[in-house]
Amino acid sequence: MVVSSPAVTSVHATFVDPTRMRVEARTAEGLTVILDSSAEGGAGAAPAPMETLLAALAGCTSMDVASILRKKRQRPSRYEIVLDGTRAGAHPDVFTRIVVEHRVEGAVEVEALRRSIELSATRYCPVNAMLSAAVVIEHRYLLRGEGGRQQSGLVVTTGPGHRLPGAIAPGA
pLDDT tens figures, 50-76: 999 999 999 999 999 999 999 999 999
Listing from the earlier edge strand, what are the strands of the sheet with 95-107?
A: 75-87, 95-107, 136-144, 150-158
Q: Beta strands of 48-135 (E only): which ranges?
A: 75-87, 95-107
* C-alpha atoms less than 13 angstroms from C-alpha of 109 in its C-beta half-sphere: 10
Residue 164 has pLDDT above 70, yes or no: no
Measured torsion, CA atoms of residues 58, 99, 168, 166, in degrees rounded to the nearest 10: -80
Measured torsion, CA atoms of residues 114, 117, 122, 128, in degrees rounded to the nearest 10: -150
Spatial CA neighbour of 139 closest among 165, 112, 119, 161: 119
Q: What are the chain's domains?
A: 1-46 (no CATH), 49-158 (3.30.300.20)
The pLDDT, as a whole number, for residue 168 is 47
pLDDT tens figures, 25-39: 999 999 999 888 876
* Cα(12)–Cα(146) distance, integer angstroms: 46
